[in-house]
Amino acid sequence: MYQEQIEKLVILQSVDDEIILLEKEIEDAPRELAEMEGRLAEHRARQAQIAEKTDLLAEQLKRLEHEIEEDANKIKKSKNKLMLVGNTKEYHAMMREMDNLEKVNRMREEEKVAVLEELGRQEESGKEIKDQMSAVEEEHETKRSTLEARLNKAKKRLAALAKKRAEACKVVPKPIMGRYDFIRSRMENPVIVPVTEGVCAGCHIMIPPQVFNELQKGKQIMACPNCQRLIYWVEHTPAKEAR
């Protein structure tokens, strides 16, 4: 009976360790997806900013081209009228007007070049962000489908472990189970450990000879006087059960 209880406690410990890992995996899965969706949202926001700026630049370019063409026509008409001017005063006034229009148009041409350069940069940035978005979306879809498969597998495994745990608990007396759960809730794993040559594998401290002698008899579940973990003699080590 003692040997079976030891075996079930060791199995129980292994089951509980795996349950913790699986529960953490299930808990972390939505967080992984949320992080990926956060990256997608950042890329979409950046893409929207670039699109907005590109539209503004395109409008600015269109306005400049219209103003340049409009003033160029004015200059052309003024040159045609210049030959019909009847006096010097009117001639100089038209020349000044033409000079001002040409000066303004030169400034517009310079502004147009700057706008075209910036528009090119924004379009290049837009292409880059689009490529990055495609990569992130592909990664997101892969991770989502992979996570779903992992979660389904983890949940099935948890169901099997819950059954296995319940079977193990049937063999272990309630006081021992209570002790096991108490230790597990307050101490780092492992909860049940072997004793080799009088040394506890949990705290690595030698247990008193009298306790060791009682442990070797294999009549009752005992605890290490130093760390309070449940202990068993290494010679009583249970055979590992298949998963």
Percentage of the chain with pLDDT > 70? 98
Under 8 Å between Cβ of 173 and 210: no
Q: What pLDDT is stored for residue 230 in this prediction?
A: 94
For strands 230-233 and 222-223, give the pairing: antiparallel
**How does DSSP assign 74-113, residue by residue?**
HHHHHHHHHTT--SHHHHHHHHHHHHHHHHHHHHHHHHHH
**Cα-based distances in Å from 45 to 95, 105, 126, 129, 240:** 51, 36, 12, 10, 55
> How much is the pTM?
0.56
CATH 3.40.50.300 for domain 20-169:
no
Confidence band for 229, pLDDT divided at 50, 70 and 90: very high
- Convert the pLDDT of each residue in 55-77 to its tens digit: 999 999 999 999 999 999 988 88
* Residue 206 pLDDT grade (very low, low, confident, very high; cuts 50, 70, 90): very high
Tens digits of per-residue pLDDT, 120-153? 999 999 999 888 888 888 888 888 888 888 888 9
Domain limits, CATH 1.10.287.1490, in the chain: 20-169
Provide CB contacts within 8 A for 237, sequence distance 6+.
Answer: 194
What's the pLDDT score for residue 239? 57
Residue 56: predicted pLDDT: 94
Helices (H) and strands (E) in the chain, counts: 4, 4
Give the distance from CA 63 to its chain's centroid. 45
